[in-house]
């Protein structure tokens, strides 16, 4: 039986990040969650189909992000004048107004960093599903968990919705394919990135390393 299977007899010990109390989480069943008995800190959730689910969400999110970057995002019409904008133009328009720093930040947080994270997840999960060990698995996993906090996909989309409410009284708006694609992308991005349990991921990498 594979060493990365939680149903094996291998002891999987995990220290609580909050109080350092040690736990054996090898007996967790599918869908079960472990919490520290001392401080109630979340430890891990085991899902037998975690990798396949994360892979499906990641591929879907990447496809939607590509669609969002290649179709009209929003069109405004007021006084007979029309203005159409794509998702990349949300950053390029700032660049045109000589706000290069802000343009780079916007582009990084809403397009490049999320795309980079998804590609890393795709590579990592692909290697784990094939049960092959590579020396770059640990750095990639560390990078994924570090960059999670720097992705502003949900923040950006909430900001867009707030802006639409304020602009709605001044101009007529029509949302393009890109808008809806990015909306669904924002939903799928969360389970694609945060669906990868940190403890289970490190355990799988270490098990492959020792196999």
Residue 8 CB partners (closer than 8 Å, separation 6+)? 1, 2, 26
Q: Are 9 and 27 in contact (CB under 8 A)?
A: no
Which residues does residue 173 pair with via DSSP β-bridges, in sequence order?
76
Q: Tell me: the pLDDT tens digits for 116-150? A: 999 999 999 999 999 888 899 999 999 998 888 87
Q: 110, 104, 32: which is closest to 69 by C-alpha?
A: 110
Domain 49-210 has CATH 1.20.140: yes
Ordered by start, the domain boundaries in the chain are 1-48, 49-210
Q: Tell me: the pLDDT tens digits for 69-124? A: 998 888 777 666 677 778 888 888 888 887 888 889 888 888 899 999 999 999 99
Determine the length of the chain.
Answer: 211
| Helix or strand (DSSP H, E) at 130 | none
d(CA 55, CA 53): 5
């Amino acid at each position: 039986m594979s060493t990365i299977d939680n149903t094996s007899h291998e002891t999987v010990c995990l220290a609580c990040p909050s109080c350092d109390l040690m736990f054996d989480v090898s007996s967790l069943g599918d869908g079960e969650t472990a919490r520290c008995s001392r401080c109630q800190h979340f430890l891990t959730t085991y899902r037998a189909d975690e990798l396949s689910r994360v892979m499906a969400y990641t591929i879907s999110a990447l496809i939607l992000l590509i669609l969002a970057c290649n179709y009209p995002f929003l069109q405004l019409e007021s006084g007979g004048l029309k203005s159409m904008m794509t998702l990349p133009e949300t950053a390029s328009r700032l660049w045109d107004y000589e706000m290069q720093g802000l343009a780079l930040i916007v582009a990084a947080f809403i397009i490049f960093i999320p795309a980079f994270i998804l590609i890393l997840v795709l590579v990592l999960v692909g290697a784990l599903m094939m049960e092959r060990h590579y020396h770059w698995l640990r750095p990639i996993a560390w990078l994924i968990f570090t960059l999670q906090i720097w992705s502003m996909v949900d923040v950006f989309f909430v900001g867009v919705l707030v802006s639409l409410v304020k602009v709605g009284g001044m101009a007529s708006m029509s949302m393009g394919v890109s808008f809806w694609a990015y909306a669904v992308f924002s939903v799928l991005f969360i389970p694609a990135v945060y669906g990868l349990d940190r403890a289970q991921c490190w355990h799988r990498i270490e098990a492959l390393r020792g196999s």
